[in-house]
Amino acid sequence: MLPGMDTVTSAAENLPSDEAEWLDRVRHADPAATERLVRVYSPRMLAVIRRLVGNDADAHDALQEAFVSAFRAIGDFRGASQLGTWLHRIALNAGLARLRQRHRHDERSIDALLPKFLDDGHQAEPAVDWRPTPPEEVERRETRQLVRQAVDRLPESYRTVLTLRDLEQLDTQETADLLDVSAAVVKTRLHRARLALRTLLDPYFRQGAVL
């Protein structure tokens, strides 16, 4: 995983001690319980969707769609997984559905972002060593922001795979199932996306340049 690609986390879930009772209130459309669910889980779900769709307007629309789906299906939730895990998957599906609605047939090629190689097989401009030195906290935050900006610049199909695998930490088969592609396609796109991301970030790590 590349520097700064740590999963965004939210504050600890502020849930009642008796979650079963609280969920029962949600299932019966109790306004206070429903509002609490939205308040507790919205930040995390919005972050997940935003990393997929790449802009705030689409992310907020998809978040609303995710909660609509969640409230329709919450009667079937039996606690086989944590509520947060269940909502995370709904958020992922809502973000992917929003991407499919775009019908972006003019997606940019990733080839221009891949490293160039000489005839002897060596990289024309070898990437700098990214082994971390002890950074200040502000530098770590800046690095995370730079990485996320660079991820947003990747062609959509590659950004999606990179987001699901490296940010959301899904495994290859889970990612393939969500995207309705083969595991081999996921592996290929992920490899090319990581190479492209290194190309985008290399100037920053080489010279401290702002992307």
Identify the bridge partners of residue 117 per DSSP, sorted by sequence position: 123
pLDDT at 90: 95
Q: Is the CB of residue 110 less than 8 Å from the CB of residue 193?
A: yes
pLDDT at residue 164 above 90? yes
Ranges 55-59, 124-128, 157-161: which has the least confidence: 124-128
Distant-in-sequence, close-in-space partners of 77: CB < 8 Å, separation ≥ 6: 23, 83, 86
User: Both tokens of residue 128?
Assistant: 């700098």
CATH number (2.120.10.80, 1.10.10.10, 1.20.140.10, 2.120.10.70) of 111-207 reads 1.10.10.10
Residue 117, φ and ψ in degrees, nearest 5: -120, 145
Neighbours of 71 (CB within 10 A): 15
pLDDT for the residue numbered 29: 86
Q: Which two tokens stand for residue 95?
A: 């973000």
Rounded to 5°, the CA angle 172-200-112 comes to 85
| pLDDT of 14 above 50 | no
Select the CATH number that applies to the domain covering 19-102 from these four: 1.10.1740.10, 1.10.2020.10, 1.20.120.520, 3.90.1300.10: 1.10.1740.10
Q: What is the mean pLDDT of residues 133-148?
A: 64
- Cβ burial of 3 (10 Å; 0-12, 13-18, 19+) is middle
Asked if 84 and 15 count as a contact pair (C-beta separation under 8 A), the reply is no
The mean pLDDT of 157-164, rounded to a whole number, is 92
Q: According to DSSP H, which parts of the chain are helical?
A: 19-27, 31-53, 56-73, 83-102, 137-152, 156-162, 172-179, 183-207
Q: What is the mean pLDDT of residues 25-42?
A: 89
Q: For a pLDDT cut of 90, what percent of the chain falls above it? A: 36
pLDDT tier, 87 (very low <50, low <70, confident <90, very high otherwise): very high
- pLDDT one-digit tens code per residue, 105-127: 455 667 676 666 656 555 556 65
Q: What is the mean pLDDT of the chain?
A: 78
Report if pTM > 0.85: no
DSSP assigned state of 163: I
Kindly indicate the confidence band of residue 211, based on its pLDDT and cuts at 50, 70 and 90. very low
* Sequence ranges of the domains in the chain: 19-102, 111-207
Instruction: Give the residue from 180, 187, 185 showing the smallest Cα distance to 166.
Output: 187
